[in-house]
Amino acid sequence: MKKISFLKIFLISLLILNISFTATAKNTAVTSKWTNVPIKIDGSTDDWAGNSFTFEKKAQIDYAFRNDSDYVYILFIFKDPKYLSSIRASGMTIYFNTEGKNKKDHGLTFLSKRIPADQFIALIEQDQGPISEERKTQILKTPYYNIQNYKIINKKSKSSSPDTESSEIKKAVFRISSQEKTFVYEFAIPLEKQSDLDPGIGTEAGKSIKIGFEWGGMTKEMREARMKQLGEQSTRTTATKAGGLTDERSGGRASSSSLASMRKRIPKKYSFWVDLQLAQK
């Protein structure tokens, strides 16, 4: 049986582990600020004037919370684009736990993606019902649209689809904006949860919850692409000049500089949790 080179084992292990770091060993305690007027989710910081921000040093982020009786509002300001990692592909996942535990059973993954006009029309009709042919014609004049949506994570749910019968279910909303090197992510997440696959947290104003944030790293599609690339390379030698990579016949040795370079090309995953005290009117 052909031996597997050290290089291949190294790369596969990195793909499986999906290199990450936890920004804080201990949860940061944060207090939300009450708002009498719902925050407009537009990717702007205008509604956050006078809010105190918490700084996450290891990811160079300022973040803050506000809430009313219906929603918790979250503002993330990335001060250095390198800490965005692969967020465009991975999205931002926000986990919630009302039992005082850092558990990833329930949350929302917020994604921004580009879709063709016909899919955009389908989404509008799914949300609002049938639209006129005149409006469809107008929409089709633009070939692609950027949409910002979310998917629900609930590992304990036995259902595969949300309850669409209730028209009173509040939806989560988010928007992204950028200015020079600053990137703003703004979210509104419902406090109430009527069923397992509602986007709500399942709490109320005045309560304490744990919230986890996670983004970056390699998506399933990115890992599959890398594994395919490794498979294609397995039939070829990786010999270079002396001191560089060698083929399997020489034991698959690789220079530390080459391995370090490969590691740098794998996007980092960022993750941290906070203990959030929701405000009460």
pTM to 2 decimal places: 0.78
Identity of the highest mean pLDDT range in 62-66, 122-126, 261-265? 62-66
Q: Residues 107, 110, 116, 118: is their CA dihedral positive or negative?
A: positive
Residues 237 and 181 in one domain: no
Residues 126 and 110 in one domain: yes
Domain final position from 197, 216, 235: 216
Mean pLDDT in residue range 60-72: 97
pLDDT reading at 244 higher than 60:
no
pLDDT reading at 275 higher than 90:
yes
Residues 202 and 236 in one domain: no
**Residue 278 maps to a domain:** no
**Residue 170 maps to a domain:** yes
**Residue 279 maps to a domain:** no
Euclidean distance between CA atoms 275 and 281, whole angstroms: 20
Residues 247 and 124 in one domain: no
Residue type present at position 171:
K
Residues 251 and 137 in one domain: no
pLDDT reading at 1 higher than 80:
no
Residues 241 and 118 in one domain: no
Domain final position from 172, 192, 216: 216
**Residue 83 maps to a domain:** yes
Domain count, the chain: 2
Residues 129 and 253 in one domain: no
Q: Which domain holds residue 195?
A: 23-216
Residues 102 and 9 in one domain: no
Euclidean distance between CA atoms 105 and 122, whole angstroms: 30
Q: Are strands 144-154 and 106-116 parallel, antiparallel or unpaired?
A: antiparallel
The CATH number of residue 83's host domain is 2.60.40
Find residue 222's DSSP bridge partners.
none
Mean pLDDT in residue range 22-48: 87
Q: Are 147 and 124 a contacting pair, CB within 8 Å?
A: no
Residues 126 and 259 in one domain: no
